[in-house]
Amino acid sequence: MFQRKRKSLSFWAGIVGVIYMLAFFVVIGRFVYIAQGREIDGHNLTSLGKKQWTEVDVIDEKRGTIYSKDGTVLAEDIPAYTLFAVLSPKADSYVKDKDKTARELAPILGMKESDIRARLNQNLYQVEFGQAGQKLTDAMKKKIDQLKLPGIGFIPESKRYYPEQSSAAYTIGFTQSNPATNQQKGAFGIEQSLNHYLSEKDGSVSFYRSLSGVPIPNQSRNLTQSKPGNDVYLTLNSRIQTVLDQAMDKAYKQYDPENMVGIVADPKTGQILAMSSKPDFNLNKRDIKQFNNAPVSSRYEPGSVMKTFTLAAAIDSGVYNGHATYPSGTYRFNGGAVHDWRRSGWGTITFNQGFELSSNVGFSILADKYLGADKLKNYLGRFGLTQPTGVDLPGEISSRVNWNSKIDQVEASFGQGSAFTAMQIVQATTAIANNGTMMRPYIVDKVVNPETKKVVFSHHPEVAGHPISKKTAIETRALMRQVVSDHNVVNGSKATGVAYDLPGYDVIGKTGTSQLYANGQLMTGRDNYIYSFLGMAPQKDPKLIVYVAVRQPHLKPSDLFDSQPVIDVVRPVMSSSLQYFNVEKKVAEEGRVRSVHSVVLNSFNRQPVDQAVQMLKGQNLEPVVLGEGLVRRQMPYPGEQMIAGSKVVLSGAGTQKMPDLSGWSLADCMKVAEVAGMRPIIHGNGFVISQKPDPGSIIQSGDRLILQMGSGADLEKQSEAGNENSGTTSGLSENP
């Protein structure tokens, strides 16, 4: 019996031993299986362990910087920080007083205390503060550091910043952050089109650490090399861009148009020196509402600016006789009728006069009877007006040329019926400015590696065609000069561009007034037009092209010209740009024109008036003072080049009195009006022969400045009449 029990126990003991041995080998086998990198429940434990023990530090590299051609920073990466709070008491430093932390962080982050407190009350080791706690500036970080709050820390990173705010916003564009990679990607403008050049490659350092985060000694570190983005240099000139921006800002606020476009270009190279459109947006705020870059992505009927190209086509074809005459007013043909902007016309006039007066009838006859529809369309193509320019900006569209009917073909000659982009017009103009050679516009100058300074990509001037001959270009420019300089009156009207003339600079150009339609009906009223001007200077060797178009401005009854918003942009931009290019002014002298040397005007801001007066006199300039004390405003602006004897108007504090403007030029009178904030109303041409307010009158901002202009002979007669009738007042009326 006992022997049988013993055998039974030995048997079961053997069975249990075998089971334990099998279990042991299974466990050991499983460890070997795991050690060989096999998966369990879809997880590679070796890889998972490495992840848990590996620390990876990202090396945040910089996206490429965007510069103007003269080196002004237009877009750059600057330091930024993400705020976090450590909540676990196991950490060396953690948030102890949650109410105080929420209360002091709220005004800096722009968050509610309750929202911050809710984040701090979570059962987590560490929390962040959402979008409000991301991309914090260095100034915000310093404010938070000064609070000395336990458990509050920062993760360093970078963000995109645009120092010039809204300047050239549609050209530069902006970036958007990719949460997955924590990198920025171009989403608009140059930032988007050159994203492959501008994008950086972040690096990383990985190493093994202990549970407490301390690196394990004697362990190698794996380094992934970082690479900064390339720098981009644009053709934009920061000074000209600033003047264009300021002039367009002022006009946009004053006249509240539907939209505006402005382009300044170098006709010799095709480089875009400045470009702006309204409405715009702030690049740092991303408050964009309209996602198209108007100069290249919007087309419109340009109006009489197109007469420039019709004229050049007629001259180049050998069919233009500027001294031939035609009856203005209305031109009827099989398929329709065309009227001049002055319905009664000017009687029988020459084609040259028709160009100066912007006669639709004259150019309809020119296109219909002399050029012919086929030849006109051929020249539109040669001028690049039937296809995109190829400018290096995203979103460019082409023109819409209507050629289905006779009326469409005739109206195309004076800028109605067919629509073009501002960039197409500028490209076509380079042929006229550049003696027949048309240059393709471009805005990216070069791309540079910031580490090696090696040029990765560069843009060079590219000829886009030769639509006209040199002789044609010279003759066209001469007639464009007459549009701006001819003050002779033809049956009650004078050349349409005289308001754009800058004495001494030989400005040439062509005005445009395009009709607008709504629901198929022609809109009426002086506000319902697109007003534009296409200008160049100087005539013989143009250094720049300026094109400005303003759609539906809200004009005031006191505005002397319907195109006043365009004038207010073109004149300062043209003047400042010519001075920047050191184009010497010319002055008339005994029937001749001579060049004069100039001095650069200093800034007298906040200097004593009497001190500024002495400095100006020392430079052979003529100071005109309004008020007293310290100089608050001056005209012309600092940096402008002045010829000897030029007037400089200084405005100080206190009572301001009207100077005697007798014999002054209109340009000098405008300096007083600008500094004093007066509204000028001008009658006639030439020099001041009478004024209102009278000399010595107290003036205030917003007052009218009414000037009667006349010739030197008129001035003499006025002086003689004043001597004979001393004590009488000017005959000017307050109501123009």
Q: Which residues are catalytic?
A: 304
Q: How many Å apart are CA 663 and CA 704, to the nearest integer?
A: 19
Contacts of 483 (CB under 8 A, 6+ apart): 355, 356, 358, 495, 496, 497, 508, 509, 510, 511
Contacts of 276 (CB under 8 A, 6+ apart): 167, 168, 241, 244, 245, 248, 260, 261, 262
Q: How many Å apart are CA 110 and CA 715, to the nearest integer?
A: 65
Q: How many Å apart are CA 237 and CA 225, to the nearest integer?
A: 36
Cβ atoms within 10 Å of 399's Cβ, excluding its own: 17
Q: How far is CA 125 from CA 84, 86, 333, 338, 679, in A?
A: 11, 6, 85, 79, 67
Q: How many Å apart are CA 510 and CA 417, to the nearest integer?
A: 19
Query: Locate tokens 């002779």: which residue?
Result: 488
Structure tokens at 692: 């209102």
Query: Locate tokens 């019926």: which residue?
Result: 417
Structure tokens at 669: 């009178």
Output phi, psi for 33, to 5 deg. Answer: -60, -45
Q: How many Å apart are CA 431 and CA 319, to the nearest integer?
A: 19
Start-end of H helices in 166-212: 169-172, 189-193, 195-198
* Secondary structure class of 661 (helix, strand, coil): coil
Half-sphere exposure of 202 (CA within 13 A, CB side): 13
Q: How many Å apart are CA 112 and CA 116, to the nearest integer?
A: 7
CB 301 within 8 A of CB 412: no
Helix H or strand E segment including 357: helix 351-357
E-assigned strands of 614-711? 622-626, 628-635, 641-643, 647-653, 656-657, 679-683, 687-692, 698-699, 704-710
* Secondary structure class of 552 (helix, strand, coil): coil
* Secondary structure class of 323 (helix, strand, coil): coil
Q: How many Å apart are CA 36 and CA 712, to the nearest integer?
A: 105
* Secondary structure class of 492 (helix, strand, coil): coil
CB 438 within 8 A of CB 267: no
Terminal Cα-to-Cα distance of the chain (whole angstroms): 141
Cβ atoms within 10 Å of 732's Cβ, excluding its own: 18
Angle between helices 564-580 and 238-255 (to 10 degrees): 170
* Secondary structure class of 271 (helix, strand, coil): strand
CB 232 within 8 A of CB 447: yes
Cβ atoms within 10 Å of 56's Cβ, excluding its own: 11
Helix H or strand E segment including 161: strand 152-161
- Residue 444, exposed/middle/buried by CB under 10 A (0-12, 13-18, 19+)? buried
Output phi, psi for 250, to 5 deg. Answer: -65, -45
* Secondary structure class of 604 (helix, strand, coil): coil
Cβ atoms within 10 Å of 662's Cβ, excluding its own: 15
